[in-house]
């Protein structure tokens, strides 16, 4: 049965593309001559976004795509790529903001993510849109609900790193998105009850 939230939610493929755009925006702001505090905020923001995104794909998108499309070599390599990202994120989380290896490790994460995104956007997302068309909105609603659950305990970190890493208007957009997501989740929960 279709959830009321699915009527208002972007499709799962659009949500994945939005996540990619967000992480690329963070990557674009990372500069070698930035202060240690700004680099730290950018790294933490990117790491959190990538962790949440990977978990959402593994819990919702990949199983649905595998069920609809069957075996796919690009899908098979996505899990190991996520593990490689998690290893780099763990290294970054152990580093001090002024660690001389921070830039190189963050650039390695960038390269891994860019390669992964290229596969998803050129192969997996078009395949999903081809074989799962009618399901995409409902999967987007599921992803929205789950995203809110995953980021709720980390909302403070999200707001803090966004404020440090992005201009004021970006912070307003993040706060608005969190508020809208929260309202949509509540609305969906009330409608399902």
- CA dihedral of residues 176, 13, 79, 119 (deg, nearest 10): -120
pLDDT tens-digit series, residues 106-117: 999 999 999 999
Token pair belonging to 105: 């490790």
End-to-end CA distance of the chain: 13
> What is the tally of structural domains in the chain?
1
| Token couple for 56 | 């959402």
Greatest mean pLDDT among 95-104, 106-115, 146-155 lies in 106-115
Find all residues with CB under 8 Å of 147, minimum gap 6, and list them: 52, 56, 181
Looking at residues 80-93, what average pLDDT do you find?
97
Name which of 2-6, 81-85, 177-181 the model is least confident about.
Answer: 2-6
- Contact yes or no for 146/56 (Cβ under 8 A): yes
Measured distance CA(186)–CA(145) in Å, rounded: 9
Residue 172 pLDDT greater than 80, yes or no: no
Which structural domain, as residue segments, surrounds residue 72? 4-192
> What one-character DSSP code corresponds to residue 2?
-
Question: Could you give the C-alpha distances from 84 to 91, 113, 149, in angstroms and in order?
Answer: 11, 9, 24
d(CA 155, CA 104): 28
Mapping DSSP to helix (H, G, I), strand (E, B) and coil, where does residue 83 land? helix
Q: How sure is the predictor about 1, in pLDDT bands with cuts at 50, 70 and 90? A: very low
DSSP run (H or E) holding 36: helix 36-56
pLDDT mean across residues, the chain:
87
Q: Report which of residues 84 and 73 the model is more confident about.
A: 84
Give 185's contacts (C-beta < 8 A, 6+ positions apart).
5, 144, 145, 148
Contact 188, 4 (CB under 8 A): yes
pLDDT at 179: 73
| pLDDT for residue 174 | 63
């Amino acid at each position: 049965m279709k959830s009321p939230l699915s009527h208002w939610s972007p499709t799962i493929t659009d949500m994945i593309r939005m996540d990619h755009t967000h992480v690329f925006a963070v990557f674009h702001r990372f500069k070698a001559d930035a202060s240690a505090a700004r680099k730290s905020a950018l790294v933490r923001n990117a790491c959190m976004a990538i962790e949440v995104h990977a978990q959402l794909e593994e819990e919702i998108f990949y199983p649905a795509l595998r069920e609809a499309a069957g075996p796919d070599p690009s899908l098979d390599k996505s899990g190991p790529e996520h593990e490689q990202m998690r290893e780099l994120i763990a290294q970054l989380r152990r580093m001090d903001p002024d660690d001389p290896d921070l830039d190189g490790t963050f650039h390695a994460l960038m390269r891994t993510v860019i390669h992964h995104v290229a596969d998803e956007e050129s192969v997996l997302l078009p395949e999903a849109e081809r074989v799962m068309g009618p399901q995409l909105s409902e999967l987007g609603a599921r992803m929205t609900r789950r995203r809110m659950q995953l980021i709720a305990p980390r909302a403070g970190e999200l707001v803090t790193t966004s404020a440090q890493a992005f201009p004021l208007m970006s912070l307003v957009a993040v706060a608005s998105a969190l508020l809208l997501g929260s309202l949509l989740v509540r609305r969906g929960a009330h409608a399902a009850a």
